[in-house]
Chain A
């Protein structure tokens, strides 16, 4: 009897040991489709198909499904065609994180200590002082030319320049307007101008009289001396705008016809519009906030007012508080205003469609059918030559309808120590420090305008944060060094179906995250799903807004209900 009891106890103990060995982690995800595959084990592909929600009132986005076809292949399906999808996918806010770190998003660790696959990993962040990155020794690409990059910041351009000149830092962002010559004339430094990727424009709500008069709008276009505005109020490198797209966007048209300064022509058009003795247009609205496309808003507004007065057009200036101004613009409450746009991603659709396409911002009024037609076709065409022709037509239509008068592309520049090789300025402000080197130097110190608020760039919009993130986290695609052309990154190739609604990415093999875990398609799915689904428990960041995801793809799944009014 006793021996039998011993046998039973032994059996139970053995069963218990076997169960313990086979048990999972304590922090199993709630949903089975969030489980991470075992290292070296079978790959359990994840997929999320929300295509049933396309076009419904509950969902405004364009993503329909994300599927890990296998460990090295990810497929995206869209509700509608999007020719700019690769350009969006390359954006910094869509960097790929390890699934495990995303599971822990609620702790906030991802904001201060992101893990990525990039050429640099985060070594230390001394709040208020510096961020130190060190080279990723297991990087899949070329090893960084400089082992350590230190980020520092100062709001004052003069301070940044002094530190560069004294050798305390090796590169600075946003050289002051008055310092371009100083840097250019210093043989120890190199000035690199950043190609403008923004546009400043005068806008009209064409539904509001008297701005419903096309000839009146055209008259204003010919009344503006853009060169005078550039010379007096913009830094070197700024250019008078000749179309709505800035030169850094691939679909920019060389030699496009534009409004030139011609006061006589302006007066003629005013007469044709029914105002032979001039006209009082009420107010010109603007905000005082400095932007890359508009460095001196009050001064520019005053100058435009004065220029319009030369041809008999009277306006009063209406400076509005920033939040109220944007709100008014977004709701179409402004009749005549100054505004601008900086590229979110380097494709014409980011400029044209947002402002003049179907479903565009109401700031310009109801829009024009001919413009809608051209832009819809251009956004669905893969052939670049065909797109070029279509956007040339869009330029002509804008010249005719004149809902907006492009005025300037705001320039800027970076400066480096002359000994830094590979120094460059990115039009998107995402300089890649891994390609830089300096003989005998094991550290490069970069000084920018401000400190990042967080380093989980899925939930950041500030360029100061995005620049740091881009060294740590990579997206499926990237932008060429110093340019805007899309190139492979974590995905080594990609393709679409004919109607641009299915995009398949082949991932690089053998890539590891900074924590040693293997990168695979499930990490891509998790990184996108985390942002896409507002009800996902991992949809947590510094602010939880994921602004760029919403802007790029149109909306979230399960968006939170709008606050009661």
Chain B
């Protein structure tokens, strides 16, 4: 197992290097001048000459890339040209927001999508099966921003004064500023602790503030549901089709022939094998959610990775584009690695191989 993990890690290095190179090149290909974007009306030729010299934009491209790679290995992702922060600090602020949202969305997608897929797959070609497929197609087809707006209209406006009312924003209630857990515990402050404290749900648990936990949860429901719809539909469809395939195999026929109840056949014999491709889809979905939540973040006013990346691209903030893309890519690689490890536990054949 360790050898397997090590092999996968080593094979990830060229992938990450390729991503570094790709994001660097793409960033430089974006039309527009970072000096003009950063300094705007103060972007005189003299000011831009100084700006480009300060940030190395007047060096040859390969020199810029070499500097950037060297800085990355030293843990320096550079400073944002637009914000008054280092890229690392921005990541500590913004990534937890997206991770929390993505994890919540994935949780909803799995706990709804897998049972739906099992229900549809176990009743193949029935009305239940058709209804599930139609629902899944609908979920995939509705744009996230449309669904988000509908959810806001229904739950934040129409049901506002009812028990079903939910907030329109994904942020905590205005004026609520939870203490970071490391301050409450009286332990030292470092970047990792700060990162963790920016995950509102987790921080609320760590400081034993259930009122804040509930507040964070209430604000998370609508954006998480909006974001979960597409992966939920994909997971449901994948579970269904995978289960249908497995239920047609000889060993399942044997299990039925032995007189086992259908529920036992599905849950104890068929489901585990049918989850193998679903695990892959879940892993890919998490990576997609982290990098692609821009619309959800915009609608629910969350400042996460997606929105930051969008602002950085339009603002020609090269270091933020490069740094955030690299981190998301690393996240993808890690998620894929975890997915492969989970795979080995689910499928003994992979373990033996």
Give A contacts to B, CB under 8 Å.
111, 124, 126-130, 132, 148, 150, 152, 154-156, 158-159, 162-163, 165-169, 321-324, 326-327, 443, 445, 453-454, 542, 545, 562-565
Would you give the shortest CB distance from B201 to chain A, in whole angstroms? 15
Q: In the complex where A154-B301, A563-B47 touch, is A168 in contact with B157 (Cβ < 8 A)?
A: no
In the complex formed, the residue of B with least CB distance to A443 is B175
Top 9 A-B pairs, shortest CB-CB distance: A563-B46, A323-B43, A445-B174, A128-B303, A150-B174, A166-B156, A323-B36, A166-B168, A162-B168
Q: A443 near B174 (CB under 8 angstroms)? A: yes
Would you give the shortest CB distance from B308 to chain A, in whole angstroms? 9
Instruction: Report the separation of the CA atoms of residues A132 and B173 in the bound assembly, to the nearest whole angstrom.
Output: 12
Is B41 an interface position by the 8 A CB rule? yes
Is B26 an interface position by the 8 A CB rule? no
How many residue pairs link A and B with beta carbons under 8 A? The number is 90
Give B contacts to A, CB under 8 Å.
32-33, 36, 39-47, 49-50, 83-84, 93-94, 149, 152-153, 156-157, 160, 167-169, 171-175, 177, 298-299, 301, 303
Q: B41 near A168 (CB under 8 angstroms)? A: no
Instruction: Report the separation of the CA atoms of residues A128 and B307 in the bound assembly, to the nearest whole angstrom.
Output: 11
Q: Which residues does chain A contribute within 8 Å of B45, judged by CB atoms?
A: 565
Instruction: Report the separation of the CA atoms of residues A166 and B43 in the bound assembly, to the nearest whole angstrom.
Output: 42
Q: Which residues does chain B contribute within 8 Å of A326, judged by CB atoms?
A: 41
Task: Pick the residue among B42, B84, B93 that contacts A542 (CB under 8 A).
Answer: B84
Q: A163 near B168 (CB under 8 angstroms)? A: yes
Would you give the shortest CB distance from B153 to chain A, in whole angstroms? 8
Q: A445 near B175 (CB under 8 angstroms)? A: yes
Q: B50 near A563 (CB under 8 angstroms)? A: yes
Q: A163 near B46 (CB under 8 angstroms)? A: no
Instruction: Report the separation of the CA atoms of residues A124 and B152 in the bound assembly, to the nearest whole angstrom.
Output: 29
Q: B39 near A323 (CB under 8 angstroms)? A: yes
In the complex formed, the residue of A with least CB distance to B35 is A323
Q: Which residues does chain A contribute within 8 Å of B175, judged by CB atoms?
A: 130, 132, 148, 150, 443, 445
Instruction: Report the separation of the CA atoms of residues A51 and B84 in the bound assembly, to the nearest whole angstrom.
Output: 37
Q: B177 near A126 (CB under 8 angstroms)? A: yes
Would you give the shortest CB distance from B329 to chain A, in whole angstroms? 23
Would you give the shortest CB distance from A457 to chain B, in whole angstroms? 15
Q: In the complex where A166-B168, A168-B169 touch, is A321 in contact with B177 (Cβ < 8 A)?
A: no
Q: A562 near B39 (CB under 8 angstroms)? A: no
Instruction: Report the separation of the CA atoms of residues A335 and B160 in the bound assembly, to the nearest whole angstrom.
Output: 56
Instruction: Report the separation of the CA atoms of residues A158 and B157 in the bound assembly, to the nearest whole angstrom.
Output: 13
Q: Which residues does chain B contribute within 8 Å of A111, judged by CB atoms?
A: 84
Q: Which residues does chain B contribute within 8 Å of A155, judged by CB atoms?
A: 298
Q: In the complex where A126-B177, A150-B175, A453-B84 touch, is A167 in contact with B160 (Cβ < 8 A)?
A: yes
Q: In the complex where A148-B175, A168-B174, A327-B44 touch, is A163 in contact with B36 (Cβ < 8 A)?
A: no
Q: Which residues does chain A contribute within 8 Å of B40, judged by CB atoms?
A: 322-323
- Chain B CB count within 10 A is highest, among A127, A321, A542, for A127
In the complex formed, the residue of B with least CB distance to A163 is B168
Q: Which residues does chain B contribute within 8 Å of A152, judged by CB atoms?
A: 171, 174, 301
Q: B41 near A129 (CB under 8 angstroms)? A: no
Instruction: Report the separation of the CA atoms of residues A148 and B83 in the bound assembly, to the nearest whole angstrom.
Output: 27
Would you give the shortest CB distance from A544 to chain B, in whole angstroms? 12
Q: A129 near B47 (CB under 8 angstroms)? A: no
Q: Which residues does chain A contribute within 8 Å of B43, judged by CB atoms?
A: 323, 327
Would you give the shortest CB distance from B313 to chain A, in whole angstroms? 15
What are 29 sample pairs from A and B whose C-beta atoms fall under 8 A apart?
Answer: A124-B177, A128-B93, A128-B303, A129-B303, A130-B174, A132-B175, A148-B175, A150-B175, A152-B301, A156-B299, A156-B301, A159-B168, A162-B157, A163-B168, A163-B301, A166-B156, A166-B157, A168-B156, A168-B169, A321-B33, A323-B36, A323-B39, A324-B36, A326-B41, A327-B43, A327-B44, A443-B175, A563-B50, A565-B45
Instruction: Report the separation of the CA atoms of residues A544 and B230 in the bound assembly, to the nearest whole angstrom.
Output: 48
Q: A167-B160, A323-B39, A565-B45 are in contact. List 18 more A-B contacts (CB 8 A).
A: A111-B84, A126-B177, A155-B298, A156-B298, A156-B299, A158-B149, A162-B156, A162-B157, A166-B160, A168-B167, A321-B33, A322-B40, A323-B33, A443-B174, A453-B83, A563-B46, A563-B47, A564-B46
Q: Which residues does chain A contribute within 8 Å of B156, judged by CB atoms?
A: 162, 165-166, 168
Q: Which residues does chain A contribute within 8 Å of B167, judged by CB atoms?
A: 166, 168
Q: A562 near B46 (CB under 8 angstroms)? A: yes
Q: B36 near A322 (CB under 8 angstroms)? A: yes
- Chain A CB count within 10 A is highest, among B156, B298, B301, for B301
Q: B174 near A165 (CB under 8 angstroms)? A: no
Would you give the shortest CB distance from A167 to chain B, in whole angstroms? 7
Q: Which residues does chain A contribute within 8 Å of B32, judged by CB atoms?
A: 321
Q: Which residues does chain B contribute within 8 Å of A166, judged by CB atoms?
A: 152, 156-157, 160, 167-168
Q: A454 near B174 (CB under 8 angstroms)? A: no
Would you give the shortest CB distance from A354 to chain B, in whole angstroms? 15
Q: Which residues does chain A contribute within 8 Å of B49, judged by CB atoms?
A: 563
Would you give the shortest CB distance from A23 to chain B, in whole angstroms? 35
Task: Pick the residue among B83, B93, B169 that contacts A163 (CB under 8 A).
Answer: B169
Task: Pick the residue among B93, B153, B160, B298 that contacts A127 (CB under 8 A).
Answer: B93
- Chain A CB count within 10 A is highest, among B40, B41, B94, for B41
Would you give the shortest CB distance from B217 to chain A, in whole angstroms? 16
Would you give the shortest CB distance from B94 to chain A, in whole angstroms? 7
Would you give the shortest CB distance from A533 to chain B, in whole angstroms? 21
Q: Which residues does chain A contribute within 8 Å of B44, judged by CB atoms?
A: 327
Instruction: Report the separation of the CA atoms of residues A454 and B153 in the bound assembly, to the nearest whole angstrom.
Output: 34
Q: Which residues does chain B contribute within 8 Å of A321, judged by CB atoms?
A: 32-33, 36
Instruction: Report the separation of the CA atoms of residues A156 and B152 in the bound assembly, to the nearest whole angstrom.
Output: 14
Q: Which residues does chain B contribute within 8 Å of A159, judged by CB atoms?
A: 168-169, 298-299, 301
Task: Pick the residue among B84, B94, B173 that contacts A454 (CB under 8 A).
Answer: B84
Instruction: Report the separation of the CA atoms of residues A156 and B49 in the bound assembly, to the nearest whole angstrom.
Output: 35
In the complex formed, the residue of A with least CB distance to B300 is A159
Q: Which residues does chain A contribute within 8 Å of B93, judged by CB atoms?
A: 127-128
Instruction: Report the separation of the CA atoms of residues A437 and B80 in the bound assembly, to the nearest whole angstrom.
Output: 39
Q: In the complex where A166-B167, A323-B39, A443-B175 touch, is A128 in contact with B298 (Cβ < 8 A)?
A: no
Instruction: Report the separation of the CA atoms of residues A489 and B108 in the bound assembly, to the nearest whole angstrom.
Output: 55
Instruction: Report the separation of the CA atoms of residues A156 and B168 in the bound assembly, to the nearest whole angstrom.
Output: 13
Would you give the shortest CB distance from A179 to chain B, in whole angstroms? 14
- Chain A CB count within 10 A is highest, among B156, B171, B175, for B175
Would you give the shortest CB distance from A189 to chain B, in whole angstroms? 12
In the complex formed, the residue of A with least CB distance to B161 is A167
Would you give the shortest CB distance from A174 to chain B, in whole angstroms? 15
Q: B157 near A323 (CB under 8 angstroms)? A: no
Instruction: Report the separation of the CA atoms of residues A321 and B40 in the bound assembly, to the nearest whole angstrom.
Output: 10
Would you give the shortest CB distance from B67 to chain A, in whole angstroms? 23
Instruction: Report the separation of the CA atoms of residues A129 and B300 in the bound assembly, to the nearest whole angstrom.
Output: 12
Q: Which residues does chain A contribute within 8 Å of B84, judged by CB atoms?
A: 111, 453-454, 542
Would you give the shortest CB distance from B158 to chain A, in whole angstroms? 10
Instruction: Report the separation of the CA atoms of residues A564 and B44 in the bound assembly, to the nearest whole angstrom.
Output: 12
Q: Which residues does chain B contribute within 8 Å of A545, judged by CB atoms?
A: 42
Instruction: Report the separation of the CA atoms of residues A111 and B83 in the bound assembly, to the nearest whole angstrom.
Output: 13
Instruction: Report the separation of the CA atoms of residues A454 and B169 in the bound assembly, to the nearest whole angstrom.
Output: 24
Instruction: Report the separation of the CA atoms of residues A321 and B37 in the bound assembly, to the nearest whole angstrom.
Output: 10
Would you give the shortest CB distance from B161 to chain A, in whole angstroms? 9
In the complex formed, the residue of B with least CB distance to A148 is B175
Would you give the shortest CB distance from A338 to chain B, in whole angstroms? 16
Would you give the shortest CB distance from B58 to chain A, in whole angstroms? 14
Q: A128 near B160 (CB under 8 angstroms)? A: no
Q: Which residues does chain A contribute within 8 Å of B160, judged by CB atoms?
A: 166-167
Q: Which residues does chain B contribute within 8 Å of A453, judged by CB atoms?
A: 83-84
Instruction: Report the separation of the CA atoms of residues A322 and B167 in the bound assembly, to the nearest whole angstrom.
Output: 39
Would you give the shortest CB distance from B166 to chain A, in whole angstroms? 9
Instruction: Report the separation of the CA atoms of residues A156 and B148 in the bound assembly, to the nearest whole angstrom.
Output: 14
Q: Which residues does chain A contribute within 8 Å of B42, judged by CB atoms?
A: 545
Would you give the shortest CB distance from A371 to chain B, in whole angstroms? 26
Instruction: Report the separation of the CA atoms of residues A148 and B43 in the bound assembly, to the nearest whole angstrom.
Output: 39
